[in-house]
Amino acid sequence: MCIADPTPDPLFTQQTITRRMGKFTLHSRPYTLVLRHVFTIASGSRSTTPVVLVRLDYDGVSGYGEASMPPYLGESHESVMAFLSKVDLRDFDDPFQTAAILAHIDGLSERDTAAKAALDIALHDLLGKLMGQPWHRIWGYDPTKAPHTSFTIGIDTAEVVRKKVAEAAPYQILKVKLGLDTDKMMIETIREVTDKPLCADINQGWKNRDAALDMAHWLAERGVVFLEQPMPKTQIDDNAWLTERSPIPTVADEAVQRLADVRRAWGAYSGINIKLMKCTGLREAHQMAELARALDMKVMLGCMTETSCAISAAAQLAPAVDWADLDGALLIDNDVFRGMEIAAGRVVPPNAPGIGVSVR
């Protein structure tokens, strides 16, 4: 069992809000991740990502969690800290009441999914430590079944793209951001320097279904293995039309946030992308993965720019998915956790209890 260190946790000294709630104590601290490269996708560019780090203590045991708030999703340091200040776990004296605790937290607001995920991750870390097992073992998964992780190449000039491909040498599959008018240039530039399999993340960038189908064929011929969110999520019929005809699977990303969205995506997409920050955390992510499997859908596991905390939480589910895109912690310069490792490009879910992280 991982007992909370009696010496102060270096992560939670500065800017930290500490609240006692009955048998639980919650520490939370805003933090800013610095990206290694300015990152461009169809919707914009950025060089930092705000996160909030949390620690949930119960009976001398601590669980770590994290909220990551890429600005286009609407959460921020302020909104997450405000949400966390509303949470009161005084009515719960048993952390194993996971369903009830998380339903209570979810009911506090309509959105705030990253803030909710921070608490869910910390609770799972705590519970896994109380049981002495990592969650991939509690769920009965074989960690050697975890897939390779893709390494993301943002939309950029040919020169930068070539540099990023070189940087991605340890990875066996690359994820290419598409959706602007530079799509063919991006792929051709990459294909000049590598024949690794690619996945294409269009981020809703294609608007016309006939052009989308043409591109799907063009990309399939160039070793692209799936299309992530090819068309706007509101164009449900167009995405379904494309899914039916595309030579490679389609994966819903923006169109699927939570468990209830999976059923709606059935038929319109070949698979779903699960991200902890969108679905409120590990409990719902696990339910989404199992549901998608039961509906014969493909499952991809994605991330935001995150420290090894949220990444290692996601890695618990990796053995149950087809494709993993867990490079979030690789893209930052100031990770504060150690956890999930990558061996020859493959995700290695950590073997320590809970989510398996330690503070650097």
The residue ranges that bind its own copies (CB under 8 A) are 96-100, 102, 131-133, 137-142, 259-260, 262-263, 283, 287, 290-291, 294-295
| Residue closer to its own copies, measured from CB, 131 or 185 | 131
Q: What are the Cα distances from residue 192, in Å, to 96, 187, 218?
A: 53, 9, 16
CB atoms within 10 A of CB 131: 15
**What token pair was written down for 297?**
């859908």
- Which residue, 262 or 300, has its beta carbon nearer to its own copies? 262
Nearest distance from residue 260's CB to its own copies, in Å? 8
Other CB atoms within 10 A of residue 60 CB? 10
Show the CA angle centred on residue 43, arms to residues 346 and 212, nearest 5°.
75
20 vs 264, beta carbon nearer its own copies:
264
Q: What is the DSSP letter of 8?
A: P
**What percent of the chain is helix, strand and coil (3-state, nearest 5)?**
35, 25, 35
Choose between 208 and 351: whose C-beta lies nearer to its own copies.
Answer: 351
What is each CA distance from 210 to 79, 183, 231, in whole angstroms? 41, 16, 11
Q: Of 139 and 241, which CB lies nearer to its own copies in the complex structure?
A: 139
Closest contact distance (angstroms) between CB of 251 and its own copies is 19
Residue among 157 and 351 whose Cβ is closer to its own copies: 351
CB of 261 to its own copies, least distance (A): 11
Pick between residue 127 and residue 303 the one whose CB is nearest to its own copies.
127
Least CB distance to its own copies at residue 158 (A) = 44
Q: Please say whether the beta carbons of 274 and 253 come within 8 A.
A: no
Minimum CB–partner distance for residue 96 and its own copies (Å):
4
Nearest to 290 by CA among 267, 262, 313, 311: 262
- In whole angstroms, the minimum distance from the beta carbon of 3 to its own copies comes to 16
Q: Which of 66, 65, 70 is nearest to 50 (CA)?
A: 70
- Which of 82, 66, 79 is CA-nearest to residue 33? 66
Q: How far is the CB of 176 from its own copies (least distance, A)?
A: 32
Q: How do 61-68 and 150-153 pair as beta strands?
A: unpaired
Using CA atoms, how far apart are residues 311 and 329, in angstroms rounded to an integer? 7
- Phi and psi, residue 270, nearest 5°: -80, -25
What's the closest the beta carbon of residue 263 comes to its own copies, in angstroms?
7
Of residues 143 and 223, the one with the C-beta less far from its own copies: 143
* Crossing angle for the helix pair 77-86 and 113-131, to the nearest 10 degrees: 60
